[in-house]
A and B are shown apart, each in its own frame.
Chain A
């Protein structure tokens, strides 16, 4: 795809990210860190493409290692976020 097209997408996404993150309440900054950690594991799709298309064996193996590492990141990140969020409770009504 055209580099200008990609740059446009990059800049617009930065704006979206900027506004979305400012809306996050301060109390949830830790879950924000862990969920963005999990989401940054999206490089797994880069790793999958590489592992799937590479011609040399070294490239394939490196790709597979990255798939593994990114999965730790993804599953771990979502699980930690889940754990943190389930601790935030409302006051019990008495």
Chain B
């Protein structure tokens, strides 16, 4: 084999990966991007297998085939609503692979102790953190914030132990210390994600995604492999930016989210607000008002996804548009759902066209001219206290200005507060009508009424 062939194909693969990410700037080029990414991976794998370094083709091909079949099987089997946990699992497996590679290198007598330790520790954190994220999203563990006494002190203690052990290992490399390092990093990953509540998962998943990238960088340094460094830093930087965007969309700091425990305190003012008057409407009222509207903006939240209401929501939008000539748009808050962009995927799954779905900054000015805002399964992301009450935990968070619409419908089971634990004053506003019930059932009733009225 020519000596230039490996670096050249690694260069190609690196370029392909960059193009793949770049092509996600528009949904029309995105599909091509995914294929380019696959090509990059194919080139990298084939060149590595063909390089003189590698023999034992049979075992390797068996390992790749088994992994491939399992991966593809689960990727196509999983429900779209469960995508975040699936991505968490895949991410965790990547982290675990980094752990095994590091162990394998150390046992094989590599001397790149620092680089390997980095790959090991970050990979282990990504692995165990992703497993907890998976368990929470899948509701195997309580999805809320899980807090116990001295939690932060224990985590800090573990972190310091990890760093000390790592330094001792670098000074006097003993393989036993390396095993301890692995164990502590895995435990720390578990404990770090445990106190973080469900609605903060978009941040957690982005951070964990970033970790696997940095783990690859560590391994790249230990193996002197340029492609690992390039790709790892692409992924690492990408995850970091996503975490930043998510944290900004909640107006919180990364430390605040990662320390956890958010949203478990019950606000004491709730009882005082109980006597306020609430307008309660029926699905028939809502249908009547919406069919006479010019413009309706639908604001879906995670509750919509839980109720699996996206299909009937699509039906409602289509009926309003075709039967009554209403202008219907969807408004999405950046942190709606359980991972970045989750809500867009859920709406796309229900065949809601990409052009009708708008990001917060693109649609917020339109609420003032809308007749109806239909808020379904969302709460905190519409709470005007974020703009007015500086003592509120969500103060400063960008919200969707639904209160500017002429009429606001809230489809909710009860007046209960949202994830942040604070009450939404919009529920008691004069122009708000509460539609109590399951998101899917209420919307179904509206669709039925819309279709009957048109007969």
Contact = CB atoms under 8 A, between A and B. Distances in A.
Contacts of B260: none
Contact of B224 (A1, A14, A26, A92): A1
A42 B24 contact: no
Contacts of A18: 237, 241
Contacts of A91: 353-356
Contacts of A70: 67, 93-94, 97
Nearest to B16: A39
B34 interface: yes
Contacts of B104: 50, 54, 58-60, 62-63, 66
Contacts of B225: 45-46, 49
Given A59-B108, A63-B101, A75-B71, A25 B348 contact: no
Interface string A44-76: 111111111111101110111111111111111
A82 to B, nearest CB: 6
Interface residues on B, range: 35 or more
Contact of B108 (A30, A54, A73, A77): A54
Given A36-B213, A46-B228, A53-B54, A68 B22 contact: no
Contact of A56 (B108, B233, B238, B334): B108
A44 to B, nearest CB: 6
A30 B342 contact: yes
Contacts of A49: 48, 53-54, 223, 225
A44 B30 CA distance: 24
A72 B25 contact: no
B44 A45 contact: yes
Contact of B53 (A24, A47, A53): A53
A52 B238 contact: no
Interface residues on A, range: 35 or more
A84 B37 contact: no
Nearest to A81: B34
A7 to B, nearest CB: 9
Given A21-B21, A50-B108, A69-B93, A38 B227 contact: no
B435 interface: no
Contact of B20 (A6, A39, A71): A39
A17 B245 CA distance: 15
A63 B69 CA distance: 19
A62 B101 contact: yes
- The binding surface of chain A is classed by DSSP as helix
B41 interface: yes
Given A43-B219, A59-B108, A64-B60, A10 B91 contact: no
Contact of B33 (A25, A35, A44, A80): A35
Contact of B71 (A10, A50, A77): A77
A16 B228 contact: no
B236 A26 contact: no
B41 A42 contact: yes
B72 A79 contact: yes
Interface in B62-104: 63-72, 74-76, 78, 80, 83, 86-87, 90-91, 93-94, 96-98, 100-101, 103-104
A80 B84 CA distance: 11
A26 B334 contact: yes
A38 to B, nearest CB: 7
B75 A80 contact: yes
B41 A90 contact: no
Contact of A32 (B18, B66, B242): B242
A46 B53 CA distance: 11
B144 interface: no
A28 B341 contact: yes
Interface of A: 1, 3, 6, 9-10, 13-14, 16-18, 20-56, 58-60, 62-92
30 contacts: A13-B233, A17-B238, A27-B344, A28-B30, A29-B344, A33-B339, A36-B213, A37-B90, A37-B209, A39-B37, A39-B41, A39-B234, A39-B235, A42-B17, A42-B41, A43-B232, A45-B45, A46-B223, A50-B105, A63-B104, A66-B101, A71-B67, A72-B68, A72-B70, A73-B94, A76-B70, A76-B75, A81-B34, A85-B30, A90-B28
Given A18-B241, A80-B83, 5 more contacts: A28-B25, A31-B24, A35-B21, A42-B216, A77-B75
